[in-house]
Structure 1
Amino acid sequence: MSTIGPIPEPVAGCKPTAPPVLTEDQQTKYGQLLDQVKSWESLPTSKADTDNKPISDDERLWLTRECLLRYLRATKWSLPQAIQRLRATLVWRREFGTGTFTSEYISPENEKGKQVQLGFDKEGRPCLYLLPQNQNTKPSQRQVEHLVYMLERTLDIHPPGQEGLALLIDFRNTGAGGTPPMSISKQVLDILQSHYPERLGRALLTHLPWYVSAFLKLIGPFIDPVTKSKIKYNEPLVDHVPASQLMAASGGEVDFKYDHSIYWPALDKLAAERRQQRRERWETAGKHIGESEVYLWGGEESSIGAPKENIEVSNEDKSGEKINDESKTPMIGNDTASMNGETEIVDGVANLDIKQSEPVKITA
């Protein structure tokens, strides 16, 4: 197989494992968090800012049911901590500018293809390749912005029911200058752990030279043990990613050649289309905070705002008899019941609930 652009869908059958249904206590805490979030009318635009600005539609759309659940799981179901961390992330997203980076602004960082979203692993996680041998710029704040931009684009295209992603980091032919400065590494780790909880499904590191191993030992104290358990070293990538969606250079069957003039606009177009589809679904359903990501990403689950009578009709069997009332209303959060049947939602992505350190500021 040959391709020069991103692959839009995972291999048939590559799906996340269905998670357990929420307990009564967990559903209660989710409801309390949802009520709290709905009460937020404005937030600061930065940590140092005392002036608040209203919550935007983009932020309301971001505050999905699964988003709230990720923060609850990351804090081991501590409601106060989940509230604090969720607010902190919204303020960080405003200050960092996650929604403002254009493909044109980030483009110079990726001209040599040092980060590539391509294919999906065996659980439907979109794969983001980090290829430091293709590094083409000096350390700067835009390198951090580039990584965040690629994380956001990768998450844009995950399939319904999937929440995580897979990082494939290939250190082949990487010189000693390919490892980032400690300041940038700590800033990136803080961003991942504080503002992308439970998003890392696995990290597959291959072709590690001695100086990279030494570098990993240096940053090891900043990495949570749960996250470390998701990092695999020098394992055959075909054990984790279908060969039909894995680069040939990594042991797969995809003959991929990076051409920035073709790949970059193709990725931007695919991600923009997916975002527009989600917004249209969200607006059609009534712009709910706490909307289902399965519904928003086009899966077989109704909006949380679906009329009750529609749910009741769906719970009649062909003979017209009512099904057990326990199945009438979908459970909040990761329940697999829905009006369209069983929906699978990811379980087992890494819990990045780690150190609450301050982001490391660097000079661009």
Structure 2
Amino acid sequence: MSIHIPLPVPTHPHQSAPPSALSEKQQTVHDHVLEHFSPVDYTLPNVDQEKAALTVDEQFWLSYECLLRYLRATNWNADAAIKRIEDTLKWRREFGIYDKITPEYIEPEATTGKEFLFGYDTHGRPAIYISPSKVGAEETPRTIQLTIWMAERSFDLMGPGVETLALLVDYADNTTNPSFGMCRTTLDIIQTHYPERLGLALISNLPWLLNAFFKLLTAFMDPYTRQKLVFNPVINENGLFRTAADAEAWDADSASRVFEPDQLIEEGWNGSQPFMYSHVVYWEALIKLCEERRSRMLSVWHRMGGKVGIKEWDVKVAVRDETIEAHVDVDGAENGQLQS
């Protein structure tokens, strides 16, 4: 039987760990950036003063890990990190992350199933599947907006210690070349406003005609992003691997596997999940899953003080533990009913 809904967030993803301790110098730089955004009267520069104060969503976004991602991206330059964060805060408003790009607005672009979230890799990273063959001939701003919206939803579904996502792009049956302009715009957004958010991009069934296109595109990528691209990965009964050498060397104790079979769809990726995209069913389930999880994270964040700099790790661990406790309570109640 086919399934049509996303998989739940794993409660115990592989290699989940809290943020590493900072050096004394790094802590000093971090504290400087945190102090810049923490005042209750902080306002974004060069913005209409009536709208310059940070919203609750923006304060929630400015987590401890978020500050670290921008600090690492700027080689621990506090002033550069502050400017880049403020530029991203303005971009998120202009792009419409919190108000314009709603599920209702973006849904018409998603009906074909050309992009969807499903499953997690062996690092607990949520996977976004992309099928270029299902992209229409006419590219619109919503094409890029859907990609960013899906990335934002993947952040909702990341477990403790997970900060990056995985892309699975299948070029099978693709008959059109992607627009270089659209790809370049999307790449610029990701590199500028989503530092250290792409964990891995697996590109399968890449036709030789597109090799030159990707060689041209990678010229515009920073080296850190470029090394995350894996072309024509190896897929077998044991799962998905970066290379044939990884697949041959794999055993039950090996860490070389990228995806386990039960986290991959059957169609195009040889997984064990009989997932078929049924938009009406999938879309409702994804929206519900993301909204419920984000609501729970915000609730925990408020209980922890509701301010800039709270650790995503602490918030997500609390949500995870509440989920496990809820499952235990339900199972216990059900078992009690069976025994009575």
TM category (shorter chain) comes to: 0.7 to 0.9
Tell me which of 233, 243, 265 is aligned to 1:247: 265
Report the counterpart of residue 208 of structure 2 in structure 1.
210
* Residue 78 (structure 2) aligns with: 79
Check the 8 A contact 2:17/2:160 in 1, yes or no: no
Q: Match for 1:241: what amino acid?
A: F
- Asked if 2 retains the 8 angstrom alpha-carbon contact of 1:112 and 1:136, the reply is no
CA deviation string 1:62-112 (max 9, x = no partner) = 110010011011111111111111010001001111112211111111111
Greater shift, 221-230 or 131-140, is seen at 131-140
Q: Shift in Å at residue 296 of structure 1?
A: 1.8
* Residue of structure 1 equivalent to 2:127: 127
**Equivalent pairs: percent with the same residue?**
38
- TM alignment of 1:80-95, pairs within 5 A: 80-95=79-94
SS at match of 1:298: helix
* Other structure's SS at 1:93 match: helix
Alignment of 1:279-318 (within 5 A): 279-299=298-318
Stretches of structure 2 that go unaligned for 5 or more consecutive residues are 242-257, 322-340
Partner of 2:251 in structure 1?
A: none
**What's the offset of the Cα at 1:54?**
1.6
Amino acid in structure 1 at the alignment position of 2:124: G
> Residue 3 of structure 1 aligns to a residue in which SS?
coil
String of CA shifts for 1:27-79, please: whole Å, max 9, x gaps.
Answer: 11111110011146222687xx7875221111111110010011011111111
Residue identity matched to 2:207: P
Residue 176 of structure 1: SS of its match in structure 2? coil
More contact order relative to length (CA 8 Å, sep ≥ 6): 1
2:17–2:161 contact (8 Å) kept in structure 1: no
Change (3 A) 1:10 1:45: farther
Change (3 A) 1:36 1:13: closer
The corresponding residue for 1:53 is 52
Cα gap change, 1:52 to 1:300, in 2 (>3 Å): closer
User: Could you tell me how far 1:211 is from its partner in structure 2?
Assistant: 2.6
Q: 1:66 to 1:13 in 2, by over 3 A?
A: closer
Closer, same or farther: CA 11–278 of 1 in aligned 2, 3 Å: closer
Q: Secondary structure at the match of 1:169?
A: strand
- Cα distance in structure 2, aligned partners of 1:266 and 1:137: 28
2:192 aligned with 1:194, yes or no? yes
1:1-364 correspondence to structure 2 within 5 Å: 2-10=2-10, 12=12, 14-16=14-16, 20-39=20-39, 41-43=42-44, 53-100=52-99, 101-136=101-136, 138-177=138-177, 179=178, 181-237=179-235, 238-239=240-241, 240-249=258-267, 250-299=269-318
Change (3 A) 1:17 1:149: same
For the Cα contact (< 8 Å) 2:170–2:203, is it kept in 1?
yes
The alpha-carbon deviation at position 18 of structure 1 amounts to 6.2
State the TM-score, normalized to the length of structure 2. Answer: 0.82
AA of the residue aligned to 2:43: S
In structure 2, distance between residues paired with 1:92 and 1:243: 38
Q: Closer, same or farther in 2 for the Cα pair 1:17/1:297, shift >3 Å?
A: closer
Local SS of the residue matching 2:317 = coil
Assess if the C-alpha contact under 8 Å between 1:124 and 1:159 holds in 2: yes
Q: Secondary structure at the match of 2:7?
A: coil
Task: Say whether the 8 Å CA contact 2:297–2:319 is kept in structure 1.
Answer: no
Letter in 2 for 1:248: E
Distance 1:30 1:65 in 2: 9
For 1:41, give the aligned amino acid: Y
| Letter of the 1:281 counterpart | V
| Secondary structure at 1:147 match in 2 | helix
Q: Deviations over 1:283-325 (max 9, x none)?
A: 12221210110122234999xxxxxxxxxxxxxxxxxxxxxxx
State how far apart, in whole Å, the 2-side matches of 1:117 and 1:45 are: 36
SS class of match (1:244): helix
Shift of 1:21: 2.5
Conserved? CA contact 1:160–1:299, under 8 Å:
no
Count of equivalent residues: 298
Amino acid in the other structure paired with 1:109? E
Contact 1:17 1:123 survives alignment (8 Å): no
| Cα root mean square deviation, aligned | 2.2
- d(CA) in 1 for partners of 2:58, 2:18: 27
More helix by percentage:
2
Q: Describe the SS at the equivalent of 1:43.
A: coil
Which has the larger displacement, 257-266 or 6-15? 6-15
> Gaps (5+ residues) in structure 1?
303-364
Distance in structure 1 (CA, Å) of the matches to 2:214 and 2:49: 38
